[in-house]
Chains A and B, each alone.
Chain A
Amino acid sequence: MKIIYKMACRNIFRRKSRSSLLIIIIATGVFAASFVVAFINGWANSCFVEHIDMQTSYLQIHANAFSDTNDVSEFMDKQTIKEALDAVSEVSCASYRLKTNALLSTAQTSVGLTLIGVDRDEEIKVSSIYSTIDSCHGTFFESDIARPIVISQRSADRLNVALKSRIIISMQSSSGEIQKVQFRVGGLFQTNSKRFDNVTAFVQNTDLMPYLDIPDGVVHEVAVAVNNLQECNKAKQKLSRLLPEHDVKKWDEVYPLMQLLGAWQKIANFLFLALFFTALAFSIANFMLMSVLERKGEFSMLKKVGMGGNHITLMIVIETLFVTLIGTMIGLILCLIVVLISSKSGIDIQFIFNNQAGYGFGTIIYPMINKRDFVHIFALVSIISMMASISPVKKVLK
Chain B
Amino acid sequence: MNEVINNNRSIIVRTENLCKLFLNGKSEIKATDHVNLSITSGEFTAVVGPSGSGKTTLLNLIGGLATPSSGRVFVKGKDINQLKEKELVKFRLHNIGFVFQFLNLIPVLTVEENISFIMELQGTNKEQRNRRTAELLELIGMKDRARSRPYALSGGQKQRVAVARALASKPLFILADEPTANLDTEAAETLLNTMLLLNEKEKVTFLFSTHDPRVMNKARRLITLEDGRITKDETYVR
Using a CB–CB cutoff of 8 Å, the interface residues on chain A facing chain B are: 1-3, 6-7, 10-11, 14, 297-298, 300-309, 311
| B residues adjacent to A (C-beta < 8 A) | 63, 65, 86, 89-90, 92-94, 96, 98, 100, 103-104, 106-109, 113, 116-118, 120-121, 165-166
Alpha-carbon distance A91/B94, docked complex (angstroms): 72
Q: Which residues of A contact B86 (CB under 8 A)?
A: 308-309
Contacts of A305 in B (CB 8 A): 92-93, 98, 117-118, 165-166
B91 and chain A: residue at smallest CB distance: A306
Partner of B103, one of A11, A301, A307: A301
Cα distance, A307 to B169, chains bound together (Å) = 14
* Structural contact, A3 and B108, CB atoms closer than 8 A: no
Q: How far is the CA of A1 from the CA of B123 in the complex (A)?
A: 9
In the complex, are the beta carbons of A304 and B98 less than 8 A apart?
A: yes
Cross-chain contact B63 with A304 (CB below 8 angstroms) = yes
- Contacts known (A6-B113, A301-B100); A307 close to B107, Cβ less than 8 A: no
Best-surrounded residue of A11, A298, A304, A307 (most CB of chain B within 10 A): A304
- What is the CA–CA distance of A123 and B165 in the complex, to the nearest angstrom? 82
**How many whole Å from B155's CB to the nearest CB in chain A?**
16
For B109, what are the chain A residues with a Cβ–Cβ distance below 8 Å? 3, 6-7, 10
Asked if B117 contacts A3 (CB within 8 A), the reply is: yes
Q: Does the CB pair A298–B90 fall under 8 Å?
A: no
- B103 in contact with A298 (CB, 8 Å): yes
From B63, which residue of chain A is reached at the shortest CB distance? A304
Q: Are B65 and A304 in contact (CB under 8 A)?
A: yes
> How distant is the Cα of A11 from the Cα of B107 in the complex, in angstroms?
9
| Contact (Cβ within 8 A) B120 A306 | no
* Bound-complex Cα distance A121 to B95 (A): 89
A residues in contact with B113, CB < 8 Å: 3, 6
Cα A303 to Cα B106 in complex, Å, equals 12
CB of B108 within 8 A of CB of A306, answer no
Bound: A304/B56 CA distance, A:
14
16 A-B pairs within 8 Å (CB atoms) are namely A3-B117, A3-B120, A6-B109, A6-B113, A301-B100, A304-B100, A305-B92, A305-B93, A305-B166, A306-B90, A306-B93, A306-B121, A307-B121, A308-B89, A308-B93, A308-B121
Given contacts A3-B109, A304-B98, 15 further A-B contacts (CB under 8 A): A1-B120, A1-B121, A2-B120, A3-B120, A7-B108, A11-B108, A14-B108, A297-B103, A301-B100, A305-B92, A305-B118, A306-B90, A307-B89, A307-B121, A308-B93
Q: What's the Cα separation between A137 and B107 when bound, in Å? A: 77
How many angstroms between the C-alpha atoms of A297 and B102 in the bound complex?
10
Minimum-distance CB pairs A-B, first 8: A306-B93, A10-B108, A3-B120, A306-B92, A297-B103, A308-B89, A301-B103, A305-B98
Quick one: which of A2, A301, A309 has the most chain B CB within 10 A? A301
A302/B89 contact (C-beta < 8 A), A2-B120, A3-B120 known: no
Residue of A nearest to B86 (CB): A308
B94 partner residues in chain A, CB cutoff 8 A: 306
- B56 CB to closest chain A CB (Å) equals 12
Q: Closest CB of chain B to A132's CB: distance in Å?
A: 65
What residues on B are CB-neighbors of A297 within 8 Å?
A: 103
A301 and B104 within 8 A (CB) = yes
Question: A306, B103: Cβ atoms under 8 Å?
Answer: no
Closest partner residue, chain A, to B169 (CB atom): A306
CB neighbours (8 Å) of B90 from chain A are: 306, 308
Q: Bound state CA distance, A2 and B123, in angstroms?
A: 11
**B84 CB, nearest partner CB in chain A, Å:** 12
Q: Which residue of B lies closest to A310 (CB)?
A: B86
Hey, which chain B residues are within 8 Å of A309, CB to CB? 86, 89
Q: Cβ of A298 and Cβ of B120 under 8 Å apart?
A: no
CA–CA, A86 and B63, complex, Å: 85
Complex alpha-carbon distance, A158 and B44, angstroms: 106
A168 to chain B minimum Cβ distance, whole angstroms, is: 87
* B96 cross-chain contacts in A, Cβ below 8 A: 306
- CA–CA, A308 to B121, complex, Å? 9
Q: Would you give the shortest CB distance from A300 to chain B, in whole angstroms?
A: 8
A322 CB to nearest chain B CB (Å)? 13
Closest residue to B149 on the A side, CB-wise? A10
- Counting chain B CB atoms within 10 Å of each CB, the highest count among A3, A298, A309 belongs to A3
Closest to B108 in A: A10
Residue on B with the closest CB to A14?
B108
A201 to chain B, nearest CB (A): 75
Interface pair A298/B100, CB less than 8 Å apart: no
Report the minimal beta-carbon distance from B203 to chain A, rounded to whole angstroms: 21
The reply to whether A303 and B89 contact each other, CB–CB distance below 8 Å, is: yes
